[in-house]
Amino acid sequence: MNIDIVFTNKASKLKVALMVDSKQHNIVDFVSNFAVNDDTNCKAPNEDWALTTPHSSSFVDVDGDCMPDIFMTRTDGTNNYAEIYIQR
């Protein structure tokens, strides 16, 4: 079973641990590897924003395509934001 984990590292960068096998994983940037912003009405994702503390996240079908999308709360250090990442 592969388990991928989204987390904030010590520098407050949003990362993903992608499991290769039960003993090895690769750590990559979440925003630069998984976020695409092709809607000019949306704010661009920011790699420097950390997960909020306490944190909320969920896999939910936001757009009705029967595929799980990601909802998470993040912060720029002053304000908290809700972000939704639609699976494409």
11 inside domain: yes
Containing H/E element for 30?
helix 30-34
24 pLDDT above the threshold of 60:
yes
Residue with more model confidence, 77 or 47: 77
Domain span holding position 26: 5-36+49-85
Structural domain contains residue 42: no
Look up residue 35 and give its two tokens: 């976020």
Q: How many domains does the chain have?
A: 1
Confidence of residue 1 (pLDDT cuts 50, 70, 90): very low
Question: Per-residue pLDDT tens for 34-50?
Answer: 777 777 777 777 777 88
Domain presence at residue 19 = yes
Instruction: With respect to residue 44, please indicate whether it lies within any of the assigned structural domains.
Output: no
Which of helix, strand or coil describes residue 35? coil
pTM of the model: 0.70
